[in-house]
Amino acid sequence: MADYRDMWKDLGMDLETHDQLCEVLPMAFTDVYLSQKNRPENMGYYDFVVSEIHGVRPAELVEAQKKGTKVFGTFCIYVPDEVVFAADAIPTGLCGGSQFWVPGGEKVLPTNTCPLIKASVGARLDKTCPFFRIADMYIGETTCDGKKKAWEILGEDVPMHVMDLPQMKRRKDYKAWAEEIKELKGTIEEFTGNKVDSEKLSKSIKLINDKRRALARLNATRKNKNIPISGKDSLLISQIAFYDDPTRFTEMTNTLCDELDKRVEEGVSVFEEGTKRILLAGTPLAIPNWKIHNVVETSGGAVVCEEMCTGTRYFENLVDESKDNLDDQIDALADRYMNINCACFTPNEARIDDIKRLCKEYNVDGVIDVNLKFCNLYDTEGFLVERELKKAGIPVLGIETDYTDSDVQQLRTRIGAFIEMLEK
Ligand code: SF4
Ligand code: SF4
C-alpha cells in the first residue's frame, strides 16, 4: 500500500493501533482470496481496492472535502444514497466487519450486542478506520434496538441524523418513510448548504439504479450451471459497492460482467461439476467478514447467492425513474426502500417468499441461514425461515457466528456434514 500516514494523522487516527490492522488484513486477504484458482482477470480492480482499502478511497473523499463536499456515513441499506448524491455530497457505508474493532465497541456497549454494531462503534471510538473519521455526519436508523442505542453513544462524538424506520408495511408506513426521506433531505440540505432539486435527484436515482443493474447482471451469471465466479469474489464486490465511487464501480463491474458472460458462453466454471450450490440467507457480511463463504467454498460447496444486505437485498428492485417532481420521486424512493425485506419488519413473510424464489432462480441445493451472534431479530425469524424452507423441501442449516475465528473448525465440521448430506 502507498504511504497514507500523513492523511491518517490528519484524520486524528491512532496510527500505532491502526498499524496492527494493516498487518493482518493483507494476510487474511491472501489466504482467502488470492489462493483461489481460475479467478476472472477483472477481479484485479477489486483486489486493488482492497489492497488500498484505507488509502485510495479515503484519499478521494478527503480531496472532495477540501473542495467543500460533505461526506455522510451510513449503516443500513434503507438509507437512500440518492438523496445524499442529489445534494452534491457523498455517502459511504460504514458497517464494521472485523473482530479488530469489537473490543473497542465493548468498552461502551454490552457484550451481548451484535458484532456488527460493536465493530462499528469501536472503529469510530478507537480511531482506527479512516472512513469513520472522514464522515462529516452519520445517518443512522431505528432498525434494531442495538443500533438505536449505539447512535446515542456515537452521537456524542459526531453529528448524527437518525431516520425512524417503520416496522410494518401498511400504506401509512410507506407514507411515514417518505416523510422520513423528506426530513433527511432537509437535514442534508442544511448541512451541505446545497439544495436538492428534481433534476439532481433524477440523476442520482439513475446513478444508483445503474449500480443495482450492474450487480444484478453480475449475480445473474451465478445462476448458470457453470458458475463463472466464486461466491467469495461476488461477496467482495458487494462489500466494495458500499463505499466505492458509484460511477467507477458500475463501469468496472460491467467490464467484469463482459468477461463473465464470455466465460458462461465458453462453459467455464470456477467449481468442479456437481459442486453443491448454496444460498446464504440472513444477517449482513460487512467487509472484511469472509468467514462463511471461505468455509463453504473450501468444504466442497459453492455460494451462488446471498439473501443478505450484502447481496440481493442491496440490488434487487429499482427506483422508478419516470417521476419528474420531488414529491413523486420521494414516494418512488420510499416504495423501493420499503420493499426491502429485513427481519426488523413484522410480519415479514415476503422475506421467506424471496428466499424460496431465489432458491429456484439460482438452482440452489441447500440454504445456510446465517445469524450474527446476538442479532435477536434474524435469530428469531430463523425459526420461521427454516420451518418454511423445510416444508418446501429445501434443505437448510442454521448457524450462528461472530467475527472471531474461534468457531471456524466447528463451522467447517457442520457445514462439511451439511454439504455431504446434500451429495447423497
Ligand atoms: S439487516 Fe436490516 S438493519 Fe441490518 S443493514 Fe440490513 S436492512 Fe439494515
Ligand atoms: S445484524 Fe441484527 S442486531 Fe446486528 S445491526 Fe443488523 S439487525 Fe441489528
Range of the domain at 123: 5-168
Shared domain check, 208 and 149: no
Averaged pLDDT, 393-415: 98
Shared domain check, 237 and 143: no
Res 1 pLDDT > 80: no
Q: Which atom of ligand 1 is nearest to the CA of 343?
A: 2
Averaged pLDDT, 95-111: 96
What confidence tier does 162 reach under pLDDT thresholds 50, 70, 90?
very high
Q: Which atom of ligand 1 is nearest to the CA of 340?
A: 7
Shared domain check, 137 and 252: no
Q: In Å, how far are 1, 84, 143, 338, 365 from 342, measured between CA atoms?
A: 37, 22, 9, 9, 24
Residue 326 placed within a domain: no
Q: In Å, how far are 20, 93, 116 from 313, measured between CA atoms?
A: 33, 15, 17
Among 85, 190, 188, 200, residue whose Cα is nearest residue 138: 188
Q: Length of the chain, please?
A: 424
Q: CA 262, CA 239: separation in Å to the nearest integer?
A: 24
Q: Whose grid coordinates read 447423497?
A: 424
Q: Which atom of ligand 2 is nearest to the CA of 342?
A: 7
C-alpha 373 to ligand 1 mean position (Å): 15
Q: Extract the C-alpha cell encoding 56.
A: 485510495
pLDDT tens for 309-340 read: 999 999 999 999 999 999 999 999 999 999 99
Shared domain check, 389 and 258: yes
Nearest ligand atom owner, CA of 115: 2
Q: Is 77 in the pocket of ligand 1 (CB under 6 A)?
A: yes
Q: At which of 116, 145, 168 does a domain end?
A: 168
Shared domain check, 164 and 207: no
Residue 173 placed within a domain: no
The number of domains in the chain is 2
Tell me the CATH number at 65.
3.40.50.11890
Residue nearest to atom 7 of ligand 2 (CA): 144
Residue nearest to atom 6 of ligand 1 (CA): 309
Shared domain check, 67 and 135: yes
Ligand 2 pocket, CB under 6 A? 114, 116-117, 143-144, 146-147, 283, 372, 375, 377-378
Averaged pLDDT, 80-107: 97
C-alpha 150 to ligand 2 mean position (Å): 11
Task: Calculate the average pLDDT of the chain.
Answer: 97
Q: How many CB atoms lie within 10 A of CB 185?
A: 21
Q: How far apart are the first and last CA of the chain?
A: 46
Shared domain check, 235 and 162: no
Shared domain check, 262 and 213: yes
Q: Is 284 in the pocket of ligand 1 (CB under 6 A)?
A: yes
Q: How many CB atoms lie within 10 A of CB 15?
A: 12
Sign of CA dihedral 410, 97, 206, 233: negative
